[in-house]
Amino acid sequence: MRPFVYERATSPEDAVRAARGKVTANLPPVQAPGQFIAGGTNMTDYMKLDVMRPEILVDVNGIDRNRYGRIEEFDGGIRFGHLVRMAEAEEHPAVKAKYPVIAQSLQLAASQQIRNMATLGGNVLQRTRCDYFREATWACNKREPGSGCSAMDGINRRHALLGTSDQCIASYPGDFAQALIALDALVETQGPKGNRKIRFADLHVEPGNTPNVETVLEPGELITFITVPSGAWTRRSMYLKIRDRQSYEFAVTSTAVALDLDGDTVRDVRIALGGVATRPWRSREAEDALKGKPLTPETASAAADAAFAGAKPRKYNAFKIPLGKETVIRALLETKNMEA
């Protein structure tokens, strides 16, 4: 690890000010010299790999937990402070009962020890596990723009097939974000330019020609709250994660599904896909294929086909098209059988 300055912030304003002291023009936030740290489970990992080299780390754990470390139910939704630990959210009775997709997406992530540390604000900003990104001696457009992409023709079983570009196929690894994008979550931030609200669906961006830009956040902008609106679909929802081993592995494929049924007919449905895309991925195509139709193995299969219609496989990840489809079909059918 390289030397860095460590500061503790006691308020979001404080944190933003401290991180901003080191803002350099034209650098995306992940490469900015000033970085926030909460649970530290992702940041310290990448610092040890010499992939992230912050000059100043602003510890946000000292920010008022009564306000920013709480889960609050309100009329029309639930609001998570950014300092809520993953383990706290997955065990919260209202989350478990009313938003099972959220509880499951957290429960199936990482390990208990990591979930005890990692915060929700940091979680959604987790960076890719692409092996060529993680090892600093490979060419990587995300790490060093313009250097090339080693994954494109490399060992790319874990890489994305949706939202890719000819610059980058690194997959977004997280689980929680799939639940959030499915449920139309909203993110509140505090930054150098003040406070703003961002649709969760707009938070992450596809790599395009700038794979080093991963979100619309500005350097020094801190996520403060995540709000999830409730709906007829939130209770009948699930997160299905397929992986080689039973625990402690990122999704090979996954899906967040939320259903509102009228008898057998789909009134509303939310489908997000993990392990297959460069960013949290909502499949409106799959949803549109189902809405107004009875949910059967056939319609679920058609929806799954729609979800992967735009997939661009590489050498080792083509199996994720049939697997991703089966994941969606299985999740839809299992969700249908849940009690609403």
Per CB under 8 A, residues contacting another protein are 1-3, 50, 129, 131-132, 135, 137, 150, 153-155, 157, 240, 242-250, 252-253, 319, 322-323, 326-327, 329-330
Strand order from edge to edge, sheet including 34-37: 5-8, 56-59, 34-37
Instruction: Using the minimum distance from each CB to another protein, give the nearer residue, 195 or 247.
Output: 247
* Alpha carbon of residue 313 to chain centroid: 21
Instruction: Using the minimum distance from each CB to another protein, give the nearer residue, 83 or 311.
Output: 311
Residue with tokens 């600093």: 136
Instruction: Using the minimum distance from each CB to another protein, give the nearer residue, 39 or 220.
Output: 39
Minimum gap (Å) between residue 173 Cβ and another protein: 10
Instruction: Using the minimum distance from each CB to another protein, give the nearer residue, 49 or 97.
Output: 49
276: tokens are 């297959």
Instruction: Using the minimum distance from each CB to another protein, give the nearer residue, 88 or 131.
Output: 131
Query: Helices 297-307 & 320-336, crossing angle to 10 degrees?
Result: 140
Residue 329: which H helix or E strand, with range? helix 320-336
Minimum gap (Å) between residue 308 Cβ and another protein: 13
Minimum gap (Å) between residue 1 Cβ and another protein: 6
Minimum gap (Å) between residue 221 Cβ and another protein: 28
Taking the C-alpha atoms of residue 182 and residue 228, their distance in angstroms, rounded to an integer, is 10
Minimum gap (Å) between residue 134 Cβ and another protein: 8
What count of other Cβ atoms lies within 10 Å of the Cβ of residue 136?
14
Residue 55: which H helix or E strand, with range? none
Minimum gap (Å) between residue 246 Cβ and another protein: 4
Percent composition of the chain: helix, strand, coil (DSSP 3-state, to 5): 30, 25, 45
Question: Which of 255, 303, 228, 245 lies closest to 73, judged by CA?
Answer: 228
Residue type present at position 36: F
Question: Which of 137, 127, 138, 136 lies closest to 170, judged by CA?
Answer: 127
Residue with tokens 């930054």: 191
Minimum gap (Å) between residue 66 Cβ and another protein: 34
Instruction: Using the minimum distance from each CB to another protein, give the nearer residue, 47 or 124.
Output: 47
Instruction: Using the minimum distance from each CB to another protein, give the nearer residue, 50 or 144.
Output: 50
Beta bridge partners of 140: 149
Minimum gap (Å) between residue 182 Cβ and another protein: 19
Instruction: Using the minimum distance from each CB to another protein, give the nearer residue, 234 or 299.
Output: 299
Question: Which of 292, 289, 301 lies closest to 330, judged by CA?
Answer: 301
